[in-house]
Amino acid sequence: MGIDPISSFQKTCTFDCIYCQSGRTEVFSCEREVFVPTDEVIRELRSVPDVAVDYITFAGNGEPTLAKNLGEMIRAVRMVRSEKIAVITNASLIDRKDVQQDLLLADRVEAKLDAASPDSFKKVNRPMFDVIFENILQGLSGFRKIYKGQLVIQAMFTAANKAEAPRIAAMALEIRPDEIEINTPLRVSPAKPLPPEDIAEITAIFRKACGDRIKVRSVYEAKLEESRPFSRPATERRRGKENL
């Protein structure tokens, strides 16, 4: 079950990834702010029908760590729900201590790594100019040292970065995550997905690099889960119909 801590009509992010399934970034920002008051999230969460949920996941229309109240929201969700909590982040702010403190509260953190050099980072993730690739790598390594939960590196592959797979695998290995997920955009996206044979080749590169130490999952080996809003009118009100 997803919670969108940005919940805005306009996608608010530090990146403008070439494959973003939410379209182009409309608001670029590195400033953390409160987009949705915590009590509003909790009120909506209390109204969710009683369905089986494995994880409550913070993700959404932009970068969730931009929400200044992310840590407060995680704490508040724990008071009303017993499921594990995950955050899906692009890792652009993970070198910041306040962001690390918030992410430490989650049971699982899934962090993006799609590039092996500052040049390809700019080409694939199209970050704001003040987001520095090396800071992300240092931030991820620093966070790994203090984080006891499950750290997952998510790498999205398209034609733009498939040649970099061996170098991305080496960098991911250095971070020492618990898992690595190999993705390609299978939902509606401005970038074409790679075919299964390319993803199988990339997955084999990662598996060879990681051995038994790190579990490597591939998007074509996983069942594609459908997602739907609990309250379509509420989601439409927040995001506009085109994002549903």
Residues written for the chain: 244
**Which of 3, 17, 85, 140 forms a contact with ligand SF4 (CB under 6 A)?**
17
**Which of 3, 4, 20, 121 forms a contact with ligand SF4 (CB under 6 A)?**
20
Question: Residues touching ligand SF4: how many (CB under 6 A)?
Answer: 10
Question: Tokens 């939960």 — which residue?
Answer: 149
Residue 174 DSSP SS3: helix
**Which of 9, 10, 16, 132 forms a contact with ligand SF4 (CB under 6 A)?**
16
Instruction: Return the residues of window 51-70 that contact ligand SF4 according to CB under 6 A.
Output: 62-63
Shorter beta-carbon distance to ligand SF4: residue 90 or 100: 90
Task: Report the nearest approach of ligand SF4 to the CB of residue 36 (Å).
Answer: 16
Tokens of 86: 């995950």
Question: Tokens 């931030």 — which residue?
Answer: 139
Q: Does 7 bind ligand SF4 (CB under 6 A)?
A: no
Task: Report the nearest approach of ligand SF4 to the CB of residue 80 (Å).
Answer: 27
Q: What whole-number distance in Å separates Cα of residue 13 and Cα of residue 232?
A: 23
Task: Report the nearest approach of ligand SF4 to the CB of residue 188 (Å).
Answer: 13
Q: Is the dihedral of CA 109, 110, 114, 116 positive or negative?
A: positive
CB proximity list for 197: less than 8 A, separation 6 or greater: none
Closest of 4, 33, 56 to residue 237, by C-alpha = 4
Residue 23 DSSP SS3: coil
Instruction: Return the residues of window 74-113 that contact ligand SF4 according to CB under 6 A.
Output: 90
Instruction: Return the residues of window 108-127 that contact ligand SF4 according to CB under 6 A.
Output: none
Binding region for ligand SF4 (CB under 6 A): 13, 15-17, 20, 22, 25, 62-63, 90
